[in-house]
Structure formats: structure tokens, C-alpha cells
Amino acid sequence: MKVGGLGLGRLVPQNISVVTNLDSLSVRILRKFGNVLGNNTCWSIGDGQTANFLYDCWIPEVGPLSNHVLDGSVLPAHLKVADLVDSDGCWNWTVLQTYFTSEVLEYIAMCPPPPVELRVDGCQWKSNGTGKFSVKTAYNSLVPMDGVTVNEDWRVVWDNDLPPRIKHFMWLVMHRKCQTNEERARRNLTNDAGCALCEATQETILHASRDCHGSVAVWSQQCSSTLEEIIRRSKSSIGRIRDAATNKDRLRARLAVRIKWCPPNSGWVKINIDGASNSDGNRSTTAGVIRDSYGNWVAGFKPTTLRYL
């Protein structure tokens, strides 16, 4: 929203972020999308049987070792970290010296070779200080905001107490997407791009919101008032809207009350009468029914139509 959107994330990165977690399934997902998410993961080496020696980041300062293999050298892609440990439990320097520079070998030497008896390798999330995965940091890694110009005017549009429909209208104005006649003519929805109120040749957003005589009258009334009066009228309007909404809810609650027939006391009877008249008021009718305390019909009278001259 701070860059002019409606706060809706891009679907593909959002889906990848949601389904990703640092379990066995997500490790495969991370490797599939290694170009976008792999840079945010780092492996904690245990027994070295899970982390890939070349393509997993298990030396944070170096990154994936596949980026540092000497030109013309080809190392099998399926090798795990434990595969480069010799029978004595040391790094297999004979093989490593063939594929990497001395600088990379120094970083490898700073990492102790993985013993077999340690726990399994663990995948950690670098974008979070705790090492735990979160959908938010995963999405931010897929859709980086670095370098994106943040327009503070969007804060004015969204960070206020206005009704949502007004905020959405302001958002449309900022994007120049209001359905003025000029915009409708551009979309071939009309042949007349002029203003229907003042007959201006072009009904632009600026014309409709400021220059049209109807808009001028509204702004003149507001600008001739003091700030205190504008605030007072705004609060009064908000109060009336809230009162109307409250009364509407109360009316709706009254209408929702279920009305049913209540029997009289034992030994008594109840007579219910109903009537109606036409819209002209010169004809009416009435009828009634008598029931006992058990709801049984006792007596009644037929509808009678009366006419008035």
C-alpha cells in the first residue's frame, strides 16, 4: 500500500512463501526455487549426510561452493558434505585442492569435518534473526522493496479515519483511474469527453474535482470556513452517520423479533381482531377469531366490508 497498491501481494511469490517451511518437503522446494529462496537459507552441518556440498550454503561467508569451482573442473553434483571427508575423519584435501582456490580452502578448513555420530543437518533461515522461517521474510525476499520509491502521499490516502469508499476514491484519483468522461472516451465507452455540468471540452480528473463550477461551489464553502468549523461539521456529519447506522440496527433488531400468539389464562378466552383498508380510505374490512387457553378455536366472525362515502 505504501507504494500505491491495495495491500495485495503478488500471487506466485505469496504461494511459494506459504507452502515453504524448513522441513524435508520444503528443502526440496527451496532447491527448486534456489535462485530466489536459496540465498536466504544456511545449513547447520551435523553428520553431513543431507546438505549438498556444492549447491547448499553451509559456509555463510562463501555461499554455495558451486560458484567457486575452478574453471574447467567438474565436481559431481550429487555429493554431500560427508562425501568429502576421508576415512581418517579429515577433509579430503587431495580432492578439494583440485577444484577450489586456496582462499576457499581456508574457509573449508575453518569448518570441522562432520563426524558420523552427530545429529542430522539442519536448514536455517538467514532472513530471520532466530533462524526460523516466516512467510513475511520469504515474500520480502521474492519481492524486494529495496530501491522502490515510497511516495508518502499514499500514507495520507490510507492512514486516516475516512470511510473505505472515500479512501478507495482517493486511491483512484492518485492513479488517475476515475471514470471521468475523458477516461471513458479513452476506453471507447463514449464519444463525448466533455463535462455534462459546465459543458467543458474535457472532463479530466482535475476538472471534475476542482475546476467545474459544482466543485468550485463546494470548495468555496469549505475554504470560506475556519478550520474549527470544518472539523465541527465533519464531526457532526460523522455523528449523524453513526446515529443513522445505530437506528438502522435498532430497527432491524425490532423487525427481527418474532411475534407469536400467546394463550390467555386458564378458564379465559382471547379474541384476536385484524383489519385493513385500501389506499383511498373509502373501503375497509375486518375479521376476528376467539380461542381458549389451549389454542382451540371457539368462535369467529366472517370478514365484513364497509364502505364510506
Q: End of a domain among 119, 142, 165?
A: 142
> What is the predicted pLDDT for the residue at 252?
46
Range with the poorest average pLDDT among 13-27, 39-53, 118-132, 200-214: 13-27
User: Would you say residue 57 lies in a domain?
Assistant: yes
Q: Are residues 116 and 44 in the same domain?
A: yes
> How many CB atoms sit inside 10 A of residue 141's CB?
19
The kind and range of the H/E element at 307 are strand 297-307
Residue pair 131/28 in contact by the 8 Å Cβ criterion: no
Q: Which residue has the higher pLDDT, 184 or 29?
A: 184
Res 201 pLDDT > 70? yes
Q: Are residues 18 and 82 in the same domain?
A: yes
Q: Are residues 281 and 250 in the same domain?
A: no
Range among 48-52, 142-146, 236-240 rated most confident: 48-52
Res 251 pLDDT > 50? no
Residue pair 24/53 in contact by the 8 Å Cβ criterion: no
Cα 194 to the center of its chain, rounded Å:
37
Q: Are residues 74 and 42 in the same domain?
A: yes
Number of domains in the chain: 3
> What is the predicted pLDDT for the residue at 103?
92
Q: End of a domain among 109, 142, 175?
A: 142
Q: Are residues 246 and 298 in the same domain?
A: no
Mean pLDDT of the chain: 75
User: Would you say residue 192 lies in a domain?
Assistant: no
Q: State which residues form the domain around 288.
A: 269-307
Amino acid at 130: T
Res 288 pLDDT > 50? yes
User: Would you say residue 26 lies in a domain?
Assistant: yes
User: Would you say residue 211 lies in a domain?
Assistant: no
User: Would you say residue 137 lies in a domain?
Assistant: yes
Q: Are residues 230 and 297 in the same domain?
A: no
Residue pair 203/182 in contact by the 8 Å Cβ criterion: yes
Res 97 pLDDT > 50? yes
- 147 Cβ neighbours under 8 A, 6+ residues apart: none
Residue pair 220/211 in contact by the 8 Å Cβ criterion: no
> What is the predicted pLDDT for the residue at 154?
76
User: Looking at residues 280-293, what average pLDDT do you find?
Assistant: 80
User: Would you say residue 212 lies in a domain?
Assistant: no
**For the segment 56-74, what is each residue's pLDDT rounded down to a tens digit?**
888 888 888 988 998 888 8
Dist CA 299 CA 272 (whole Å): 11
Rounded to 10 degrees, what is the CA torsion of 143, 145, 149, 150? 110
User: Looking at residues 160-166, what average pLDDT do you find?
Assistant: 83
User: Looking at residues 182-187, what average pLDDT do you find?
Assistant: 88
Q: Are residues 64 and 42 in the same domain?
A: yes
Q: End of a domain among 114, 142, 170?
A: 142
> How many CB atoms sit inside 10 A of residue 275's CB?
12
User: Would you say residue 165 lies in a domain?
Assistant: no
Dist CA 51 CA 44 (whole Å): 9
Q: Helices 11-19 and 24-32: crossing angle, nearest 10°?
A: 150
Q: Are residues 41 and 93 in the same domain?
A: yes
User: Looking at residues 143-154, what average pLDDT do you find?
Assistant: 63
**For the segment 26-45, what is each residue's pLDDT rounded down to a tens digit?**
555 555 555 555 567 788 88
> What is the predicted pLDDT for the residue at 93?
92
> What is the predicted pLDDT for the residue at 267?
87
